[in-house]
Structures are given as C-alpha cells and as structure tokens.
Structure 1
Amino acid sequence: MLVNKVPSVLLTRRADHLRSHAGEVSFPGGRMEEGELPHHTAIREAYEEVALPIQMVNVLGTMQPITTFVSNSHITPV
C-alpha cells in the first residue's frame, strides 16, 4: 500500500484468544465469501479488521495463489 505516496506494509496482531495463530503478526485477511473475487475480499477484510476506508483503497495488483504447507490454506496475495 502507499501512505502519502510512500510504499508501506499494513500488518495486524492476532488476538491472544484465537484458536489458530494466536498473538502472531499477520497481514489483514480472511475467507472469501461466495462469488467474491480476491481483491474484493482484501478490500472488505482491510475495512473489517482495521477500518481502512474502502474509498482509500486502490488495488495495485494480485499475485499467484499459494497454498500453505502447515494448514493447507489457499492464499491470494493482493
């Protein structure tokens, strides 16, 4: 993301009570809803998790999906 035209990274710290990855630092994210595209999910999750206003988001691109080894989760970086 760009903050005042400076490339930046937005990270969150997961709550300590969560069942998986408790207390870890991570990118905002979550599950895609039915019919949703990856960039729509990223925008929605950024709003839900850190209140990033939707109108302030301009998606720069989407990378190839990857699958994590430990949890077998499918992730599409946006």
Structure 2
Amino acid sequence: MNADALRAALARPGAPSSDFDLNPDVILPGRRILRDAAVLVPFLETGSGLRMMLTKRSSRLKHHPGQIAFPGGKLEPGEDAETAALREAQEEVGLPGAEILGQLPSHETVTGFTVTPVAALIAPFDPVPEPGEVAEVFTIPAAHVLVPGNFAVERRQWKGNWRHYYTVPYGPYYIWGATARILRGLADRIDADRG
C-alpha cells in the first residue's frame, strides 16, 4: 500500500456510514439535529510502507475517555471540514501541516455528530499531545486497517440494548466504534481496487 493506491481508492465513490449500520433495529428519531464535525485521517509514508497516525484520548475526558481516535472535533462557524480537521490536528497533536488527499463519506455517530473524515499525507514530526485531550499519539501500519479481513464485529450493551460495532485491534490498541467503521469503509474501497 502506497500513497498512489490510497489516492485511487479515495477517488472511488463511497456511501455514508453510521454507528447504526450494524444495528438495523434501532429506530432513530426523525427530527434529530446533528452537529458537524471533522477528523483528520493522517497517513505517513515510510520506507516500509504507509503508516497511520492515531491518538488515544485522555481518560479524563467526559466523552469517549481512553478511546482510540483520529484527531478532530466540531466545526467552528465559517469552517469547512478540511480546515477544521487540520486545526484540530494542530491543536491536539501539534501537526504542522498536511497534504489533503480527499474526503471520505460522512459518518453519523450515536452521540449526534455528522463526521467528515479528511484523509491526508503528513511528513514526519514530533507530536506534542494536548494533555487535556490526548494521552498518546502513535502510528500503526496502514496495511493492517486497510484489509477488510482484519475487522471483526463485536457487541456490548448500550442504553439497555445490544449494540454491534466493528473492531480492528492492533497490539495494545483496541480500535473500535466510529473510528473502526470509518476505516472499514476505506478498507472496502481499497479492497474493491485490489479485485
């Protein structure tokens, strides 16, 4: 897997995803109001192939403490997804800049956000985690999360019901939920290019 293969996959059409994809019995309220957010999906080219940068959220956060996530957050007034994703990555991990490769389809979360993933190529840099939000910044081989066969479906109880979700663990990192679902969508597009 290299940056050219990633660009080709991003050029293919994709469908929006949701935390509810694996839970068809969930009845969503018809008049729900979703807030716009964006995340940066950062790839780093190395001699051994592409790597992906992820963060481990601080255990002190009110929402999603300790979870593996992309840098990102809510759009501020007047921002588009790319601007917000880059701003959040700079604030959360000190990312100095990135080459935008393209956007992935939006993803609706159970917490009421429409998240736009923005894929980017980044140069090596020394991350500076924002201590109030980020406990750790790390990279994993992109090939691991870009193969559909590496994903599993697990379940847990949430608000009294069983909720199914994708996982794609790597070493000590349990990647699941919205992050895993976004990655699964990208893996499916790359897999279609392989076929």
TM-score grouping bracket, smaller chain normalisation: 0.7 to 0.9
Please list the CA deviations of residues 13-58 of structure 1 after superposition, one character each: whole Å capped at 9, or x if unmatched.
Answer: 111111010011111111111111101111111111111112xx10
The answer for unaligned runs of 5 or more in structure 1 is none
Aligned-partner Cα distance in 1 for 2:96–2:45: 13
Which structure carries more strand by proportion?
2
Superposition pairs of residues 1-78 of structure 1, within 5 angstroms: 1-4=43-46, 6-54=49-97, 57-68=98-109, 70-78=110-118
Aligned-partner Cα distance in 1 for 2:85–2:50: 17
| SS class of match (1:48) | helix
The answer for unaligned runs of 5 or more in structure 2 is 1-42, 119-195
Taking every aligned residue pair, what percent have the same amino acid on both sides?
40
| SS class of match (2:52) | coil
Higher Cα Rg, which structure: 2
Give the structure-1-normalised TM-score.
0.85
Aligned-partner Cα distance in 2 for 1:74–1:62: 13
| SS class of match (1:9) | strand
User: What residue identity is the alignment partner of 1:2?
Assistant: L
Aligned-partner Cα distance in 2 for 1:14–1:47: 15
Aligned-partner Cα distance in 2 for 1:58–1:32: 20
**CA positional deviation for 1:4:** 3.7
- Count of paired positions: 75
| SS class of match (1:19) | coil
Give the structure-2-normalised TM-score.
0.36
Higher relative contact order (CA 8 A, sep 6+): 2
| SS class of match (1:16) | coil
Segments of 4+ in structure 1 off by > 4 A?
none
> Do the aligned partners of 2:59 and 2:65 also contact (CA within 8 Å) in 1?
yes
